[in-house]
Amino acid sequence: MSTLYDQHALETQHEDMIHDAQLDYYGKKLATCSSDRSIKIFEIDGENRRLVETLKGHEGPVWQIAWAHPKFGNILASSSYDSKVIIWKEQNGNWSKIKEHSMHTASVNSVAWAPHDFGPILACASSDGKVSVLTFKDDGTWDARIFEAHGIGANSVSWAPATVPGSLVQVTGGAPNLKQSKRFASGGCDNLVKVWAYREESDSWTEEDSLEGHSDWVRDVAWAPNIGLPKSYLASCSQDKTVLIWTQDNSKSDWNKKSLQPERFPDVVWRVSWSLSGNILAVSCGDNKVSLWKENLRDDWEIVSELTDQ
């Protein structure tokens, strides 16, 4: 999201490199995080921005931030090299820390909120090889689950949509079950993408699939929104300079993989991100280029635009 704003202008507000920048649901607030251990909150009004708060609480570089859905209030999660996740909340114009999650023993590299249909649930990926899931309960407490995920370290997490693929375009005789079970994907230093599913009967998270295809660390995973899409789409990118697209017809079928392009990218691919409609994929490469891709009618992926950071 930081490409929406002048990077140099933002970095003058921080004392060091910005690692992530995220707009809230309404596009009225911008949060940035940096190696200077701080998080900045800006109010956005058209092309203008105003710094309204600096959040300090981490003891190391802050890698990633994530806004919760506004139905839960103005809530922001942050993950850091200091092994902690902090959840911040704004009330009456004042930001405060409402939860400090310190079960990990190494850098927490990624945080992601579940679809709001499931409630306030946060997944976290850490260099200690574990993934944790925080759930805010009705009694005001947090439930925390932590489990082994990727042998040498976990780099990224991304949630599956709450609706079943194709459910919004299917016509059925009865009322369809539009609700998907809770699932998320993680990418790790073991070169694997893993899919995790919550099992109601055992009240636990289990490994549903382990997807092999990359030959080096998986840097990012992104599950596509499936508004009208007939199947699940999952993108992964890697230190091996490739992007893979994984598709699944339903939660019980196998995943099929396809390379975004036949040749490798010129550098490490750091991030992948889907458009809100789920049909455009943005790819951020180490050569300072962001490319946009779309699937054609032959099920091949074509580049539709490329942006270069000068």
Of the pLDDT bands very low, low, confident and very high (cuts 50, 70, 90), residue 167 is: low
Q: How far is CA 266 from CA 155, 206, 261, 288, 294, in A?
A: 21, 36, 12, 10, 20
> Distances from the Cα of 302 to the Cαs of 38, 64, 237, 245, 279, in angstroms?
39, 29, 17, 13, 12
Q: Report residue 225 as tokens.
A: 């929104």
pLDDT tens by residue, 258-284: 999 999 999 999 999 999 888 899 999
**Residue 167 neighbours by CB under 8 Å, 6+ apart:** 176, 178
Length of the chain: 310
pLDDT computed for residue 224 by the predictor: 95
Query: DSSP 3-state assignment of 155?
Result: strand
Select the more confidently predicted residue: 83 or 6: 83
Structural contact between residues 180 and 251, judged by C-beta atoms closer than 8 angstroms:
yes
What's the confidence (pLDDT) of residue 3?
40
**Over residues 140-165, mean pLDDT:** 93
Give the range with max mean pLDDT: 43-47, 89-93, 177-181, 236-240. 236-240
- What confidence category does residue 1 fall into, taking pLDDT thresholds of 50, 70 and 90? very low
Q: State yes or no: pLDDT of 19 exceeds 50.
A: yes
> Would you state the structure tokens that stand for residue 180, as one six-digit string?
């998907």
Q: Please answer whether residues 252 and 261 qualify as being in contact, where contact means their C-beta atoms are separated by less than 8 angstroms.
A: no
pLDDT classification of 307: cutoffs 50, 70, 90:
confident
Q: Quote the pLDDT of residue 303.
A: 95
**Selection from 230, 224, 223, 222 nearest residue 164 by Cα:** 230
Termini Cα distance of the chain: 17
